[in-house]
Chain A
Amino acid sequence: MPALYNLAVSRSLPSGFAVVGVARREKSHDAFRAEMKEGVSSFSRRKPIDPALWQDFERGISYVAGTFENPKTYADLRAHLEQLDGERGTAKNRLFYLAVPPAEFGVIMKNLKEAGLVAPPSTPGSGAPWTRVIIEKPFGHDLESAKVLNDTVGQTFDESQVFRIDHYLGKETVQNLLVFRFANSLFEPLWNREHVDHVQITVAEEIGVEGRGKFYEQTGVTKDIVENHLMQLLCLTAMEPPISLAADAVRDEKVKVLRSLRPRERSMVQENVVRGQYARGYVKGDEVPAYREEPDVAKDSRIDTYVAMRVHVDNWRWGGVPFYVRAGKRLARRVTEIAIQFKKVPHGLFRAPDGGISPNVLTMRIQPDEGIALRFTTKEPGQATILRDVAMDFRYGAAFGSNTPEAYERLLLDSMRGEATLFTRRDEVEEQWSYIDNVFDAWRAEANAPPPLYAAGTWGPEQADDLLARDGRRWRRP
């Protein structure tokens, strides 16, 4: 709701617009509006709420009570939406946002269809009424369940009507990856095995499971972060130039990357993947508990709260260039970034009197402080040739103001426009799971081996350092 309000403030919403909440609990339209106002007041980036704008915005907010299993809920919803079509000019266009567990998808979609709430697919801009559905991750918990889920969705909606939301893809820097690569002539010629030594992708969080122990015990970081966010970042970094920015053109290229990932064999997982689980430690000056001390977590849990992987993209562009990816909870700091480390200079002209020369690194920082930095070596002023690393730093906040749109604003607007480039297609999801399933198969074969522990507030277990040390490399300290 804060994202929708922000879109209203920026006059990005269509004039015919309404939001209808559907849930079990009985409540009045006004009560629902009051709840929404409280949420917007707390979480909108545009504070305080503009009373005049809110008054107008809340007229479009209403509520229908009912259980998901009961067909009457959908009949009531249909009647309400038809009323809104007349009152607010919503022209029979429907965008369903399912903020519910995946287990509920089947019954909701079946009932939506049977209530006549799903129009056939239409071409954006054709003027025909459209129906779309937004679903949130997890898109299954393995390849098989993802296929079942996709089949369930596919029984009601055409793939062109399905918008699988991954909020990472709505972040400015992620979108800017395509612009940066394909709108600048400087970098793309270097974006290959000839010039890149390796790539590091980090999705690090300082927080623990934050009361979601029950959920985390079923997922772990590999399923929660790597399978979706991290794989998508890898795809956008490694993909070939698409023939256009049309949704399928971009997604076709991402799928090619996913299909070229190695390792695929279970036997190779052990030497390429390291998992870990956080123990007690210090984060930002406070002592924090071990994962196994968190509420709703088993005392002997073997769930991964950290994973590091060496991934190869077996194609002409990236042959021999490792992609080191890692994700974890309770790490030293919250940061998501893609770092392209270029090869060292071929000849050490400046070896004396200083030590070696650090390689250039291009960093795309996704959060926090979204921006791009290029590290290069320069001479310190003075008589001697003393080399020092410096960074050219571009920050979105400093360059364009800190009030840049949030990811959900862009993604919700795109889904209303029918623009699916920043959403995940069925085959992407299934390829991601296909790759990750190999990892879990190997872990299962390890017969209950507990994951190595790492102290909270550090950068993960020692084994992760060893993974890179074997290649003569080391993790960044972002």
Chain B
Amino acid sequence: MSAGSATNLIARLEKELRELWSPPTDPSAIPMSRVCTMNIEVVASSHELLERYTPVIDEVTSFIPSRVILASMEPDSAGDEITGSATAVCSIEGGRNICSERITLRATGNACARSASAIEAFLVPEIPTALVWLGRVHVDDPVFQDLANDAHRIILDSMYTSLASLLHVVSWARTQANAPEISDMAWTRLASWQEMTARFFDNADTRHLASKITKVTLRQASEAGARLGPEPALLLGWLATRLEWKTSRLGGKIRFKRPDGGTVQIELGSVPLPPGIAPQTLAAVILEAEADGATMTGSIERELGSGAGSGQEDATHDADVMVWKLKASSCPPLEQRVRLGANKAAKWLERTLHRPKHDPAFDESVAFAEHIVQDGLTV
């Protein structure tokens, strides 16, 4: 670590990075190959948070070799300085060390205002840049604006920041001429819920019921009366936009209208939050549909905390079982149990980095979520 002029710091770190790639003096040493397919900027609101996140990034770069710039900003800390270090993070493949570069910067006090220009000094040209923002986003923050304007993708995790942060960033992006794509790791995590929800309508006997849903029940892991969390809000937005529902209000209550004029009743509830599970995690989805005497009830329930006893290698506490059930008048009851993979931050970040640059379903779901959040929905 070093202090003093940021320009001197950057010059020293650039020199250290160059020296990393000097040919080894020991001829028997495993050669190091620098590989860089993208820039990943990670900005955290504290150095401790950044240190916790560093192993996540190291794991991601073993799959996506990158130039990583990790930066913490602590404007309330004393010091008014930017310090930093640089290192290579390598994994051995085919007898070679495939290495990414990791630069860690720490800005304190007034130096935070200068940190964007320090981060940008390390970007490798010609390759995409992803900005991972850990913590709440304020779109009028000049550091966020500077970094976001030069990024190709901004990644948040609305479960750990807030749905409001996500909505603010998406609104901000709409006003920019060449806005970066916005991605949310909570949305990435919803992929398995979306896939299993769509399965209710795979069968020819139930397919037509997708447009005849009468009730949606969503449960999240939280205390009763808590605000609707990002995962349930986004899933509701996804359902509504895919099925072309419109919102309406009656007596101060939000209602959904199907394209055929039918009403969709929404029931929001909560389940107890077990240890090791993030608050507001989506716990259950139940869809009910009826048309011309045919009925269907599909449910997906996550057995929260069941991952602990899975005995699976590398499983985390929240690598839960999900129980999928379909009861339809046209077919015998079906039930299937699937286990979610380990809920590891690196996995979600890697998958988010691999998502399409433009995801209309996400954009539309966020817009819808924004609409319903204005009503301050609680569970």
Contact = CB atoms under 8 A, between A and B. Distances in A.
B195 to A, nearest CB: 12
A369 to B, nearest CB: 9
A380 B7 CA distance: 37
B300 interface: no
Contacts of B265: none
Nearest to A356: B358
Contacts of A284: 6-7, 10, 117-118, 121
Contacts of B6: 284-286
Interface in B77-117: 82, 111, 113-117
A340 to B, nearest CB: 13
B310 interface: no
B275 interface: no
A363 B127 CA distance: 12
A386 B355 contact: yes
A335 interface: yes
Nearest to B354: A380
Interface stretch (A42-50, A144-152, A388-396, A446-454): A388-396
B233 to A, nearest CB: 23
Interface string A350-379: 000111000001010100000001010000
Interface in A318-341: 332-333, 335
A469 B177 contact: yes
Contact of A390 (B37, B178, B359): B37
A44 B55 CA distance: 42
B356 A384 contact: yes
B303 interface: no
Given A284-B6, A285-B6, A285-B121, A373 B357 contact: no
A478 B129 CA distance: 12
A394 to B, nearest CB: 12
A386 B358 CA distance: 10
A166 B123 CA distance: 30
Interface in B102-148: 111, 113-118, 120-121, 125-128
A471 B16 CA distance: 42
B126 A354 contact: no
Contacts of B248: none
A285 B115 contact: yes
Size range of the chain A interface in the assembly: 20 to 34
Most buried by A among B113, B117, B150, B181: B117
Contacts of B118: 284-285
Contacts of B354: 380, 382, 386
B356 A285 contact: no
B248 to A, nearest CB: 31
B126 A285 contact: no
A389 B127 contact: yes
A474 interface: yes
Contacts of A361: 126
Interface in A454-470: 457, 469
A22 interface: no
B117 A386 contact: no
Interface string B343-368: 00000000000111111000000000
B114 A287 contact: yes
B127 A286 contact: no
Size range of the chain B interface in the assembly: 20 to 34
Contact of A332 (B9, B117, B181): B117
A25 interface: no
B9 A373 contact: no
B103 to A, nearest CB: 12
Contacts of A390: 37, 127
Contacts of A332: 117, 120
Contacts of A393: 126
Contacts of A478: 125
A393 B127 CA distance: 10
B117 A373 contact: no
A388 B354 CA distance: 9
Contact of B114 (A286, A387, A477): A286
A270 B131 CA distance: 37
Interface string A144-180: 0000000000000000000000000000000000000
B117 A457 contact: yes
Nearest to A478: B125
B5 interface: yes
A354 B357 contact: yes
Contacts of A354: 356-358
A416 interface: no
Interface string A269-307: 000000000000111111100000000000000000000
Contacts of B355: 386
Nearest to A401: B23
Nearest to A335: B125
Most buried by A among B116, B128, B357: B357
Given A355-B357, A355-B358, A388 B125 contact: no
A478 to B, nearest CB: 5
Contacts of A287: 114
A390 B126 CA distance: 8
B127 A282 contact: no
A82 B37 CA distance: 61
A478 B117 CA distance: 14
Nearest to A380: B354
A355 B356 contact: yes
Nearest to B126: A391
Nearest to A458: B146
B141 to A, nearest CB: 14
A19 B7 CA distance: 37
Contacts of B116: 282
A387 B118 CA distance: 30
Contacts of A386: 354-357
Contact of A333 (B113, B121, B128): B121
Contacts of B7: 283-286
A239 B254 CA distance: 67
B178 A285 contact: no
B143 to A, nearest CB: 10
Nearest to A465: B177
Interface of B: 5-7, 9-10, 21, 37, 82, 111, 113-118, 120-121, 125-128, 150, 177-178, 181, 354-359
12 contacts: A285-B7, A285-B117, A332-B117, A353-B359, A355-B356, A355-B358, A363-B125, A384-B356, A386-B355, A388-B357, A390-B37, A469-B177
Interface of A: 281-287, 332-333, 335, 353-355, 361, 363, 365, 373, 375, 380, 382, 384, 386-391, 393, 398, 457, 469, 474, 477-478
